[in-house]
Structure 1
Amino acid sequence: MDSIIVTGNGPLNGSIPIAGAKNACLTLMPATLLSEEPLTLTNAPRLSDIRTMTTLLQSLGAEVSGLQDGQVLAMSSHDIHNHTADYDIVRKMRASILVLGPMLARDGHAIVSLPGGCAIGARPVDLHLKALEAMGAELDLREGYVHAKAPGGLKGGTFEFPFVSVGATENALMAATLAKGTSVLKNAAREPEIVDLARCLRKMGAQIEGEGTSTLTIQGVDRLGGATHPVVTDRIELGTYMLAPAIAGGEVELLGGRLDLVGAFVEKLDAAGIDVTETSTGLMVKRRGDRVQAVDVETEPFPGFPTDLQAQMMALLCTAEGTSVLQEKIFENRFMHAPELIRMGAEIDVQGGTATVTGVNRLKGAPVMATDLRASVSLILAGLAAEGDTTVSRVYHLDRGYEHVVRKLSGVGAKIERIKGE
């Protein structure tokens, strides 16, 4: 099993290119199932999750090919001959559930295994199912599979999410594009990935209003066509690499970065003593002093502070001046990186969904273990500011969401290498 070794090596300087968003691409790819015509995605990230979604779509009969080193995905679903998303593929990634809405909307039936993914809480799919039921879907859960059918096709309906769910909003939005009549989704997610999906669907001929707000209105159409669409910049990768110079010192430009994608995050960085300025090609990040200041963080749905940046922010606050309180309001069990940071000398007290972090002068390198995708990169960031070597094991999590981590960080002066396992 591979591991990554990071040695605290002083300030970082240079630029890091930011890839297309994993979460956006994983949502856009199933949209190919809505049409018989080709869908082409540009600026696609080169990640294991994208390969998993490719395998899933191909198992259903879609044609998917990666061009230009994988950054262009050419897809065609003109011949969907299988409507069962098998457990052996779906268990690897939660986003697999997003094939349910498109298949049901287009062909009136689908069988999809309940998904797997990172072990960061229950993350049930019941809201996906209830939203589809509001459009007339008939659902039966048995032996770990969702058996869905809509004999006369889906019909427009109104559904209010009891709490914001990005995945359920995406599934319902795609399904509604081919439903008969008007669908209204209330308390819908507002994330940039939702906006990106709506724009792509509109290029395919969908009639959608309200993306970026909490109410989506979709007028169903008889069919959708093909399109070419660029995947939006990955705001989580962007935020992650913005923290590198914040932790290690120096000045780094994030190529392709946009302030509108990370507004709440940048507010916390500013409060902590980190300057973020726009450039003609992205965002420049620089720490104002020798140490950052403690800040309190509460994760919220967009446009609030992203849960997917909480672990990385904790790594920063481990060496802040003062005491910070982080409240995780989105997922339970998302402080599994805390014990690993403590191994590096951090002072962290976790009580339920609240972590209290008292900053120390310097972290110490140690062998640590990645428990999930964002935790893995938080340990690498911590290693940038630690004395000595930090060895991060189980980095296969990292490959699901970050492309070329070693290359990107070493390119700005970090001392980092990947060691191949046996």
Structure 2
Amino acid sequence: MKHSETPVASPYYLVQGGASLQGEVKLSGAKNAVTKMIIASLLTSEECTLRNVPLLGDMYLTMKLCESVGTSLHLDDHVLTLRTDSIARSEISTEVGGLNRIAVMAIGPLLHCCGEVSIPAPGGDRIGPRPINFHIEGLRQMGATIVERDGFYYCTTTKRLRGTTIKLPFPSVMATENFLITASLAKGVTIIENAAMEPEIVDLIKLLQKMGAIIEVKVDRRIVIEGVEKLRGASHTLLSDRNEAVSLATAAYLTRGDVYLRGAQQDILLTFLNTLSKMRLRFDIDDEGIRFVADDQPPPAIALETDVHPGFMTDWQQPFTVLLTQARGMSVVHETIYEDRFGYTSALIGMGAHVGLYSKCLGEVPCRFREKEHQHSCVVSGPTPLKGTQLYIPDIRAGCSYILAALCAEGESQVFGIDHIERGYEHLDAKLRSLGAQIQRIEATATADVN
């Protein structure tokens, strides 16, 4: 390819592939838990303290949202202290609430306090439609009046929100978390049927219980919440981030490395670890973390399917697909959670991977996309050497997979759109450098000289 001048609007990563990752790194707290816990602190006027918080973009956005409605915050290293003596305003602006979907989580707490709230229509990763209709319908069942107008949701209630039975059409993680938070102060009993049961949800339940909530997890995906009059402040240490664990473990195997992840928790990684065992990939578990050790032989191909917890997590699919480009034989990946999560594979093909996408369900898990035209199954043939190139990140998990591909590729890669990475990972580039990766963060310039 010819040298050319390409406009650069933000910093990017320059990655030299081929370095074997070696050493130890400490995992951050869970991104998918911290934002919901910050919102949960709005349920009380007393002080809440969160430890092991990850320093990343989505957390800062949520802090800014809470600060805009009256929360006082103090962040010291990885300890976040929050106190909301009173709600100063119940309107959430597009500036603080329009970049992701977290604003919808604030509806319940602000309705409990003020009886009214307005939020902007949500943003987020481009991985297929992720509407908030589950949230809106459930909140209406609890007594909220919600009107959508001019890109905002206007929510009101004339009396205390009430308990009800909410049957989710799909085990939505964020909707389950929303109803857990809202139901904790609702009048009466709320039952969430077909609830999600991810480890981050259990961690949120632990925090809410410390605050005085009464929550029981029943069999067959039912959660029962008995509303209380008032919640108190609490302190809580977040679980580690299982997505970061999978990403760094995969990087170790891709680079023929040997990496110890301090803080990696076996109980929240069971399905991932079972998949590694099926591929004859070595890992060693102790009380403090997990060591991931590669050898010189390509692992065998595998068939896997994403599913709701305790199945193989959809966020693990992208980094694992990169690993499958280096497996021997034909692997199959069936995505059952999102219909549009294989867009990143075109970049892998450009690097030399052999990947085919299909609308047919190539798996056994009951799938919402059966008989539809969504390309939600993927066939990967390997092992194929990857070549460095220019990469443009569309979303958080795809972005991480691009970095993993660049780490094991021959030559140099430039990875643009790294704001997605920094939204969802705490100093990922620095952690990789500490393990020996040749990755630099290049600051923004008017133009960049790229291949």
One-letter amino acid of the structure 1 residue matched with residue 406 of structure 2: G
Within the alignment, does 1:272 sit opposite 2:295 as a pair? no
Distance in 2, matches of 1:127 and 1:388, equals 46
Within the alignment, does 1:230 sit opposite 2:253 as a pair? no
Equivalent pair of 2:87/2:113 in contact (CA under 8 Å): no
Q: State the Cα distance separating 1:162 from its structure 2 match.
A: 0.9
One-letter amino acid of the structure 1 residue matched with residue 95 of structure 2: D
Task: Report what 2:433 is aligned to.
Answer: 410
Distance in 2, matches of 1:163 and 1:89, equals 28
**Aligned match of 1:59 in 68, 76, 83?**
68
One-letter amino acid of the structure 2 residue matched with residue 402 of structure 1: Y
Q: In the TM superposition, what whole-angstrom CA distance separates every residue of 1:253-280 from its partner, at most 9, and x where no partner exists?
A: 1100011111111121222221222123
- 1:106 and 1:53, CA in 2 relative to 1: closer, same or farther beyond 3 A? same
- Write out aligned runs for 1:302-381 (5 A): 302-351=309-358, 352-381=375-404
Task: Report what 1:22 is aligned to.
Answer: 31
Distance in 1, matches of 2:388 and 2:209, equals 49
**Aligned match of 2:16 in 2, 7, 12?**
7
- 1:225 and 1:187, CA in 2 relative to 1: closer, same or farther beyond 3 A? same
Identical-residue share of aligned pairs (%): 36
Q: State the Cα distance separating 1:213 from its structure 2 match.
A: 6.5
Distance in 2, matches of 1:303 and 1:286, equals 25
Structure 1 gaps of 5+ residues are: none
One-letter amino acid of the structure 2 residue matched with residue 42 of structure 1: R
Equivalent pair of 1:273/1:287 in contact (CA under 8 Å): no
Structure 2 gaps of 5+ residues are: 1-9, 359-374, 446-451
Worse overlay, 329-338 or 156-165: 329-338
Q: State the Cα distance separating 1:122 from its structure 2 match.
A: 1.0
Q: State the Cα distance separating 1:11 from its structure 2 match.
A: 2.5
Distance in 1, matches of 2:187 and 2:295, equals 56
Equivalent pair of 2:17/2:407 in contact (CA under 8 Å): yes
Distance in 2, matches of 1:66 and 1:96, equals 21
Equivalent pair of 1:155/1:181 in contact (CA under 8 Å): yes
Within the alignment, does 1:174 sit opposite 2:181 as a pair? yes
Task: Report what 2:292 is aligned to.
Answer: 285
**Aligned match of 2:415 in 367, 392, 398?**
392
Q: State the Cα distance separating 1:82 from its structure 2 match.
A: 0.7
Q: In the TM superposition, what whole-angstrom CA distance separates every residue of 1:5-41 from its partner, at most 9, and x where no partner exists?
A: 2222342221111000011001100011111111111
Worse overlay, 95-104 or 301-310: 95-104
Worse overlay, 119-128 or 275-284: 275-284
One-letter amino acid of the structure 1 residue matched with residue 68 of structure 2: S
**Aligned match of 1:192 in 190, 199, 203?**
199
Task: Report what 1:259 is aligned to.
Answer: 266
- 1:40 and 1:213, CA in 2 relative to 1: closer, same or farther beyond 3 A? farther
3-state SS in 1 of match to 2:49: strand
Distance in 1, matches of 2:429 and 2:189, equals 48
Q: State the Cα distance separating 1:315 from its structure 2 match.
A: 0.8
Distance in 2, matches of 1:211 and 1:239, equals 29
Q: State the Cα distance separating 1:149 from its structure 2 match.
A: 1.8
One-letter amino acid of the structure 1 residue matched with residue 418 of structure 2: V
Distance in 2, matches of 1:346 and 1:288, equals 21
Distance in 1, matches of 2:236 and 2:171, equals 26
Equivalent pair of 2:42/2:84 in contact (CA under 8 Å): yes
Q: What is the root-mean-square deviation in Å for CA atoms of aligned residues?
A: 1.4
Worse overlay, 282-291 or 387-396: 282-291
Task: Report what 2:106 is aligned to.
Answer: 99
One-letter amino acid of the structure 2 residue matched with residue 344 of structure 1: M
Q: State the Cα distance separating 1:288 from its structure 2 match.
A: 4.4
Task: Report what 2:166 is aligned to.
Answer: 159
One-letter amino acid of the structure 2 residue matched with residue 398 of structure 1: I
Report how many residues are paired.
420
Distance in 1, matches of 2:394 and 2:321, equals 15
One-letter amino acid of the structure 2 residue matched with residue 85 of structure 1: I
Q: State the Cα distance separating 1:285 from its structure 2 match.
A: 0.8
Equivalent pair of 1:83/1:110 in contact (CA under 8 Å): yes
Q: In the TM superposition, what whole-angstrom CA distance separates every residue of 1:273-309 from its partner, at most 9, and x where no partner exists?
A: 2122212310111124421221122111111111111
One-letter amino acid of the structure 2 residue matched with residue 252 of structure 1: V
- Write out aligned runs for 1:45-124 (5 A): 45-68=54-77, 71-124=78-131
Q: State the Cα distance separating 1:212 from its structure 2 match.
A: 9.0
Q: State the Cα distance separating 1:333 from its structure 2 match.
A: 1.8
Q: State the Cα distance separating 1:107 from its structure 2 match.
A: 3.1
Equivalent pair of 1:277/1:283 in contact (CA under 8 Å): yes
Within the alignment, does 1:139 sit opposite 2:162 as a pair? no
One-letter amino acid of the structure 2 residue matched with residue 239 of structure 1: V
Distance in 1, matches of 2:156 and 2:376, equals 38
3-state SS in 2 of match to 1:362: coil
Within the alignment, does 1:241 sit opposite 2:264 as a pair? no
Q: State the Cα distance separating 1:372 from its structure 2 match.
A: 0.8
- Which runs of structure 1 show a deviation greater than 3 angstroms over 4 or more consecutive aligned residues? none
3-state SS in 2 of match to 1:164: coil
